[in-house]
Amino acid sequence: MTGITRILGIATAVTLMFAPPSGAEEKGFENSRSYAGKEAGVGPDWLPQGGWQMPAGSKKEVPSNTVVPKVISAEAKMNAMQSMMLGNPLSLRDMMSMMVAKKKVDDGLTLEEVVESMDLRANLLNMKKVGHSTPWKVIEATTGEPSPKLEMLSYCDIPTMRLILDYVPEFSVFVPCRISVVEDASGDLWIMTLDWDVRWLDTSPNPNKISPELREAAILVRENLESIMEAGANGDL
């Protein structure tokens, strides 16, 4: 593949990334369905005959809980990321915003009320709370200066976490699911989490797919995180 062809391919991928798929408008988006495939107009099955498509690897059988032995060098990662960035129009702030799901907390709610609401909703959804840190207090104690509030809460669906780690142990760096409560420069509170959705993988031509069981369990975890954040933002009890 020539350099020009690679750049055109990256630019096409970025364009598709920001073009909303058919039927996925904000008002009509259903969190439980996939927007990949011929009808949606995205994914490996929608390309017209003769269309451009990235090559994919072969199907592999891998034992559970097996770490990928290949170690990618820092230089190789740098080259790959810089190549992808050639077609990326976003700033770092824009990219981080795109990677995060966030909700503004209703006016008048305190941080303590937000946390209480999230804990109660998590308990109802069988999401076990496994961590709660308060970095803003450490910052104040260390610097002697006031700091905007920042608290991070970790919740976990235990069976799903085991399924994920059996499939890809490297995902351990992302579990358990973290939700942060952030106070911004205006004094408003925001609730944020990493916005990962396994249905994004539906568009990949790679034949090494996650199991239907893991796919559905991961979708449910993402929906539960959304519910926990909604409860915190509204102060639901």
Tell me the per-residue pLDDT of 29-84, one tens digit each, with 9 for 90 and over: 565 566 666 666 666 666 655 566 667 788 889 999 999 888 899 999 999 999 98
Q: What is the pLDDT of residue 39?
A: 65
Residues lower than pLDDT 70 in the chain: 1-54
Beta carbons of 221 and 122 less than 8 angstroms apart: no
Please name every residue paired with 190 in a beta bridge, in sequence order, or none if there are none.
104, 182
186 to each of 149, 182, 190, 192, 216, how far by Cα in Å? 12, 11, 11, 17, 39
φ/ψ of residue 125, rounded to 5: -95, 5
Dihedral (C-alpha) 72, 77, 80, 85: value to the nearest 10 degrees?
A: 160
Residue 2's pLDDT is: 45
- The domain defined by 3-234 carries CATH number 3.40.50.300: no
Axis-axis angle for helices 212-234, 158-167 (nearest 10): 130
Answer whether 0.85 is exceeded by the pTM. Answer: no
The pLDDT value given to residue 24: 42
Query: Domain spans of the chain?
Result: 3-234
Of the candidates 191, 199, 159, the one whose C-alpha atom is nearest the C-alpha of residue 175 is 159
